[in-house]
Amino acid sequence: MDESQLLSAAAGSNADGRSSSRLAPLIIVGDGGHGRVVADNVRALESFRIIAVADDRFTNIACRDGVFHVHPGMVRELVEADHNTKVLIAIGDNRIRSSMVQRLGLPPERYASIVHPAACVSKHAYIGPGSVVMAGAVVNHGACIGAHVIINSGAVVEHDAEVGWFAHISPNSTLAGNVAAGEGAHIGIGASVIPSVRIGAWCVVGAGAAVIRDLPAGATAVGVPAKVIKQRDIIP
């Protein structure tokens, strides 16, 4: 498998030059567990065709089941080969996801946003570029989800809540109305945040925690009610 075949696929043709599916071409960056879950979400949506998966582990171009496996260093070239090609960074770690966005240097419009058909998202909510809303999640009226955010399976983001860039709202966690979760915040599995609480940038809220008061940027909080057990530099 060579680069010319890959670029042909990115431009909307099969290896023999024939036109391929009319579904929008998509490159997924990240081939870990989270990346594979995101790929399943993409296939359920039936709006995109995955033409390539990029990961630092892939040093040579390969094709498996019709999908190219490439190094992230090739992503810009693939995107430039077809203006319809979109990218989705499927890396669960918030800091690494943020770093990859900087590394790729793509404009926001080149990123896809994915909402699983089994998610419930208000038409009055906003989902930013590069974000994923997984099966069973709920995003209610007036909620604003920033770029490159993960709203994981069964998570609830209530009315007028705000979720900053690169945040991760884990499975079955709940942000009540008017909550603000800052950039890079990680809300652990099954955690709850009561109405109007502010979660600072790059905070970590432990699994099952109940947050009843504001948390400063860079804090790690656990328990019921949640208490800060660590404070760290917020530089991602």
Catalytically active residues are 159
C-alpha span between 89 and 124 (Å, rounded): 25
CA–CA distance, 215 with 226 (Å, rounded to integer): 9
Tokens of 177: 């109305």
Strands (E) across 62-119 are located at: 62-64, 67-70, 86-89, 114-115
Q: What is the DSSP string of 51-86?
A: EEEE-TT--S-EEETTEEEE-GGGHHHHHHH-TT-E
Sheet holding 156-157, edge to edge: 120-121, 138-139, 156-157, 174-175, 192-193, 210-211
- Which one-letter DSSP state was computed for residue 111? B
